[in-house]
Amino acid sequence: MNNQISVIAFDADDTLWVNEPYFRETEAKFAGLLEDFMPHHSIIAELLKTEIDNLPLYGYGIKGFMLSMIETVLRITEGKVNPEVISRAIQLGQEMLSKPIELLDGVEEVLKALQGKYKLVVATKGDLLDQQRKLNKSGLDHYFHHIEIMSDKQESDYRKLLKHLDCKPEQFLMLGNSLKSDVLPVLNIGGHAVHIPYHTTWVHEHIDHTIEHANFYQMESLSEVLPKLLE
C-alpha cells in the first residue's frame, strides 16, 4: 500500500458498527402493517421507491426513512388508513433511533493500532444528530482527529474534506463497505480506497461493474488492513 498515506478515513455504518440489518428488520415489520393491502415484497418495493425519490429532500438516515414510511402508508392505502398504523410506523423509526451500538469485529483493535501513526477521521453520511448519537454511544470518538458527517458522498464532498484536512488525494485512504459511496468517488479524485464488504448492503449502494484501479484494495475484514498499513 502507498507509503505516502497519512490520513485514514473510516465509514461508520456497517464499517465500524451494525446498521443496515436494523433497516431490513424494520422493513419486514412495516410490511406486516400493510399486509391487508398488498404482498410484503410489493410493500417493500414501494417503500424503496419512496426512499429513493425522497433522497434529494431528506437525505440519508432514519428520520428520512420514517417520513418515507408514512408517505408509503398513505399512498398504498389511498389515505384510508387507521391512524394507529401511522403511529406504529413512527414508533418503528423511534425504536431504530434507540438501538444499541454493536461494534463490528476488530474495530477497536484496528483503531488502537493505527492511532498516533496516521491521522484518523470518520467520513460518513446520514442525519447529523443520529450519527453523532451513534458515535458518542460507540465509545470510539476519542480515536478520531476529525468527524465529517456528509449529506452525501460525492467527489465534491471528499474534495471539501481533503481541503479541510489539508491533505492531498494521494495521502488519503478511505475504508468502507460501499463501492458506490466509499470507493468510486475517492478513486476518481486520486485517493486510495479499501472495500470491506458487509453481508447486508442497501440496494441503492450497489454498482453493476467491477473495479480495476491501482489504488483499489479488496479485503474481507477491517483487521486485514493492519499488515498493509503497519509494514
Domain co-membership, 74 together with 123:
no
pLDDT given at position 2: 64
Check if the beta carbon of residue 143 is closer than 8 Å to that of residue 111.
yes
> Within 13 A of 135's CA, how many CA atoms are on the CB side?
23
Boundary (domain end) residue, out of 60, 82, 97: 97
Please check whether residue 2 lies inside any domain of the structure.
no
Take residue 181 and report the three cell numbers written for it. 459511496
Domain co-membership, 34 together with 71:
yes
> What CATH code is carried by the domain that includes residue 154?
3.40.50.1000
Please check whether residue 211 lies inside any domain of the structure.
yes
What's the chain's average pLDDT? 91
* Range with the largest mean pLDDT of 24-28, 123-127, 210-214: 24-28
Boundary (domain end) residue, out of 69, 97, 125: 97
Domain co-membership, 108 together with 221:
yes
Please check whether residue 31 lies inside any domain of the structure.
yes
Q: Residue 207: pLDDT above 90?
A: no
Q: Residue 202: pLDDT above 60?
A: no
The residue range of the domain holding 61 is: 20-97
Q: Residue 199: pLDDT above 80?
A: no
Question: Model's pTM, two decimal places?
Answer: 0.89
pLDDT given at position 60: 86
